[in-house]
Amino acid sequence: MTSLCSLPRLGVGLMYNPALPEFLHTDLDAIDFLEITSDMFWTDRGAGRSPRYEELESWIDVLEWTIRRRPVVAHNIGLSIGNAGRFDLEYVAHLAEWQRRYQFPWQSDHLSFAEVTAVDGSDQHAGVAVPLPYDHDVLDMLEARVQRFQQLVSVPLLLENSVYFVTFSDQDMTEPQFLNELTARTGCGVLLDLHNLYANARNHQFDAREFLEDLDVSRVVEAHIAGGTEFAGMYTDSHSGPCPEPVWQLLEYLIPRACNLRAVTFEFHDSYYGLLGPHGVRAQLVRARGMFSAS
């Protein structure tokens, strides 16, 4: 499997959303690569169904149009790698098939779980991405799964730091310690979502720069940047428009320190495209590129 330091430098890109097809046609020069949430390109009919995955033709058209013109990376949401009840190898096999088809430089997912296994063995969805406690038993479980994933999919897996609104007491490790240990044991990378880090630091009153100092940033391959909003009493990762200044400052701090950083991705929710407009999206990409290309 490719080591992190030999991954290609992609530059500055966008997370795909349903508002973007026209932008891709008119402003393709604004992006160096496109990131896709692969799970949005199919309907998952459920474990054991045949065929389990039904691809959405109009979405696949956009993917195939783009991949002829720009590199594409896969950012998944269905792995649920932290689900203690079951590791969905059928899903991993499907990602491996997509890997053979589209040759993504890497794939990523979230350090959390979204599915749980009921007592009767059936799958249930948590409705949100739920954080994991940073404990030794969780680390052991993830180590085996990350290794299995990388064996089957044959590209590095990046795991994204989650946004969390609740905290667990009496954890064995801090989040940076946990990420450092996981990446050291498995060779996987980190997709560092700087907006998630900013949201967590703001909601739980810690210093985001100290987090970066504690993290082995040589494992960071990709950074996410985005905007957010206050919602139900907390600052959330709603991807609601431009990045706030503190996120830009974190990116500026990270870039010279993260020797294997290969990509910076701006994310926004499609419902905010009307507010941002193509000029607003371009402005975010230009600012990110100004920082990244100086490194």
In the complex, the residues that contact another protein under the rule CB under 8 A are: 43-44, 46, 54-57, 82-85, 113-119, 122-128, 130, 133, 137-138, 141, 164-170, 203, 231-234, 236
Between 26 and 231, CB nearer to another protein: 231
Minimum CB distance to another protein, residue 91 (Å): 12
Between 22 and 137, CB nearer to another protein: 137
Minimum CB distance to another protein, residue 84 (Å): 4
Minimum CB distance to another protein, residue 245 (Å): 23
Between 166 and 294, CB nearer to another protein: 166
| DSSP run (H or E) holding 185 | helix 175-186
User: Is the four-CA dihedral 216, 219, 223, 229 of positive or negative sign?
Assistant: negative
Minimum CB distance to another protein, residue 175 (Å): 15
Distances (CA, A) of 180 to 90, 100, 103, 217: 28, 29, 27, 9
- Counting Cβ atoms within 10 Å, is residue 226 exposed (0-12), middle (13-18) or buried (19+)? buried
Minimum CB distance to another protein, residue 43 (Å): 5
Between 115 and 181, CB nearer to another protein: 115
Q: Cβ neighbours of residue 63 under 8 Å, at least 6 residues apart?
A: 36, 41, 72, 102
Between 1 and 168, CB nearer to another protein: 168
Q: Are 198 and 250 in contact (CB under 8 A)?
A: yes
Q: Are 288 and 266 in contact (CB under 8 A)?
A: yes
